[in-house]
Amino acid sequence: MPVLSDITSPTLLLDEKICRHNLQVMSEKAKRNGKKLIPHFKTPQSHLVGKWAMEYGIREITVSSIKMAAYFCGQGWDNIHIAFPFNPLETKNLSDLAKNQSLSVQLINEAVTEKLAKELENPVGFFIEIDAGYGRTGVEVSDFGLIEAILRKAKSTDKLKFKGFYLHAGHSYYEKDIQKLYEQTRAALGMLKSKYRSEYPDLITRTGDTPGCSVIEDFGDIDELGPGNFVFYDLMQVALGSCKREDVAVALAVPVVDIKKERKEILIHGGGVHLAKDVLLEPDGGKNFGEVVFLTETGWEIPSQRSFLKSISQEHGIIKASDELLSHIKVGDLLGILPIHSCMTADCMKGYTTINGQKVDHAEG
């Protein structure tokens, strides 16, 4: 990797080959199932990765804030969906942005629907977000009173177009039985579709979490899939069984600043401000903030013996090192760290370097 000799401080490497492979596999899966893939770009937050995605037939994306939507405006997306219960303080920004870009939002209460109905000057689509049952956000699936109140408010304007129902089965991150959880998701969205289809014949349903979209084969009559993390994957997804370590497309290159052989510890410059503080638990209750890979001329290699970050502070990380790693590492070398949660790591680092040394953009906001 010619770029390695230029790296002196923590740098987020992006392997284009792996990232494209992830985009291709998910696109083909969606196509095979007759679903539309609308990836959540809160993970890469990048124009260049967006350009790659377009090469696999992806025409729409999802983001999680108005700022992120603004970042992608003008790149030629058929629609940008803001998958967040709409923040009413951003109504004017939304209306302005919608002048030149097809946008959609999520609504979960009457107050915000009413504000948009009154103040929008340009048309915006909306989904009603359904609470997936793990108590994050959304309208309860059986709360027809609220669903109909939102639809009624929306009808008072021609600026709000109802698109359908969105359900983020985010509890797939905690739930072992993803098949069962998807039966519930399919059932909930299917029930809503048949109830409201007569009035809204073009109504669509969307779900999208990376664990589900990675392992489920039968999505039933759900129309659209919106996973995000799969673009890069990470160790959380490896732990959930969504992917293999070899599918993780980003690694943080970090300098080795000290080695304590007798303790089998390696100190790196790389901590919470680079990786974020997401953590997996080891079988013995210890913490894992990321795993070591060996950087090579063409990317990175998974070591045969596992070494991992057992603790991090703001800028430091301490690796619990295997004998294999200790035997060939020295102070001043670079190592790679596969992140626990790639979305958060990318957001901390605000940019990538490909293994050919190309700089890749990431939204600032």
Q: Which is nearer to a second copy, 56 or 62 (CB)?
A: 62
> 103 near 125, Cβ under 8 Å?
yes
Residue 4 token pair: 């390695």
Q: Which is nearer to a second copy, 2 or 201 (CB)?
A: 2
Q: How many Cα neighbours within 13 Å face the side chain of 358?
A: 9
Residue 203 CB contacts under 8 Å (≥ 6 apart), including other chains? 162, 163, 164, 165, 193, 196, 197
Q: Which is nearer to a second copy, 187 or 331 (CB)?
A: 331
The CB density around residue 305, as the number of other CB atoms within 10 Å, is: 12
Task: Please choose, out of 19-27, 96-104, 176-184, 270-278, the segment that lies near a second copy by the rule CB under 8 A.
Answer: 270-278
Q: Which is nearer to a second copy, 123 or 351 (CB)?
A: 351
Task: Please choose, out of 116-124, 133-141, 238-246, 294-302, the segment that lies near a second copy by the rule CB under 8 A.
Answer: 133-141
How far is residue 119 from each of residues 95, 104, 155, 300, measured CA to CA in Å? 8, 15, 14, 51
Determine which residue in the list 66, 169, 178, 321 makes contact with a second copy, applying CB under 8 A.
Answer: 66
Residue 113 token pair: 């629907």
Give, rounded to a whole angstrom, the gap between the first and last alpha carbons of the chain.
30
Determine which residue in the list 27, 57, 85, 326 makes contact with a second copy, applying CB under 8 A.
Answer: 85
Nearest distance from C-beta of residue 226 to a second copy, angstroms: 14
Determine which residue in the list 3, 149, 204, 267 makes contact with a second copy, applying CB under 8 A.
Answer: 267
- Using CB under 8 A as the binding rule, whether residue 57 contacts a second copy is answered as no
- Using CB under 8 A as the binding rule, whether residue 273 contacts a second copy is answered as yes
Determine which residue in the list 170, 208, 290, 336 makes contact with a second copy, applying CB under 8 A.
Answer: 170
The CB density around residue 307, as the number of other CB atoms within 10 Å, is: 23
Beta strands 204-207 and 160-167 are: parallel
Task: Please choose, out of 28-36, 89-97, 175-183, 201-209, the segment that lies near a second copy by the rule CB under 8 A.
Answer: 89-97
- Using CB under 8 A as the binding rule, whether residue 348 contacts a second copy is answered as yes
Candidates 190, 215, 212; CA nearest to 203 is 190
Residue 50 token pair: 């967006």
**x-or-dash pattern for a second copy, window 186-215, by CB under 8 A?**
------------------------------
Alpha helices in the chain (DSSP H): 16-32, 47-55, 66-72, 91-97, 110-119, 144-155, 178-196, 210-215, 235-240, 272-275, 323-328, 342-349
- Using CB under 8 A as the binding rule, whether residue 315 contacts a second copy is answered as yes
Task: Please choose, out of 14-22, 184-192, 296-304, 328-336, the segment that lies near a second copy by the rule CB under 8 A.
Answer: 328-336
- Using CB under 8 A as the binding rule, whether residue 184 contacts a second copy is answered as no
Q: What residues make contact with a second copy under the rule CB under 8 A?
A: 7-9, 42, 64-67, 84-90, 93, 108-109, 111-112, 115, 135-137, 170, 255, 257-259, 263, 265, 267, 269, 272-273, 276-278, 311, 313-316, 318, 330-332, 334, 343-344, 347-348
